[in-house]
Amino acid sequence: MQQRYAKRLIPMLTILVGCLLGTSTGAIVPALPAKDDGHTILPGVGLKGCRIGAPLEDARKQFGEPSSDGGSYIHFAAQGVEACVEAGKIRTLFFHYRSRTHKQFRGRTDKGIGKQSTIEEVMKQYGEPDRIGESVVSEFGPEPGAYEHYLPYARLGIAFTFSDRKLAHVRVFEKDQ
């Protein structure tokens, strides 16, 4: 009797492990949800301690003194963050994963999207974007000659930019009403 259960259990366990780990045939492995350690990117919000619409002082409290304060764009390069500010309020946050000027941001989105995530994983987690922008970065851009994909989700308040199919940065802004 035990042998009969073992014959049924082994194939079921094999399927379960395959579903959890993906397969060697290139199946998409689901993104792991991010733990809330203060570095979880929330669409339309920002971070728990640094929110869209909050005063710039919140960004300073969260990330320390900026590496550069160029008017409307404030850079926290050591933390991989950039803030666009209008009238002293945070309007947009950029979380950099690949940048010549910023270290890699340590967090992920609330759906587990981070440095190693693919375009396909973003679309699986967030659905169809408003559009898919494709272009070649100009000689004045951050990675001249790179092929860029831009996936905005205005209804959620988040956008993803990929450079040569690698996640370059996540942008968070106020979501469309």
Tens-digit pLDDT string for the chain (177 aa): 454 444 444 444 333 334 333 333 344 444 444 455 679 999 999 999 999 999 999 999 999 999 988 789 999 999 999 999 999 999 999 999 999 889 999 999 999 999 999 999 999 999 999 999 888 877 766 666 778 899 999 999 999 999 999 999 999 999 986
Q: Residue 96's pLDDT is what?
A: 96
* Cβ(70)–Cβ(82) below 8 Å: no
Side-chain-facing half-sphere of 130: CA atoms under 13 Å: 12
Strand partners, 42: 46
Q: What is the pTM of this model?
A: 0.78
* Cβ(93)–Cβ(46) below 8 Å: yes
State how far the Cα of 174 lies from the Cα of 117, in Å rounded to an integer: 23
Kindly provide the residue ranges of all beta strands, DSSP E only, lying in the chain, ordered along the sequence: 40-41, 46-47, 50-51, 68-70, 73-76, 81-86, 89-96, 108-109, 133-136, 147-153, 158-163, 166-173
Q: Residue 136's pLDDT is what?
A: 85
* Cβ(170)–Cβ(111) below 8 Å: no
- Which residues touch 59 (CB under 8 Å, ≥6 apart)? 50, 66, 74, 76, 81, 83, 90
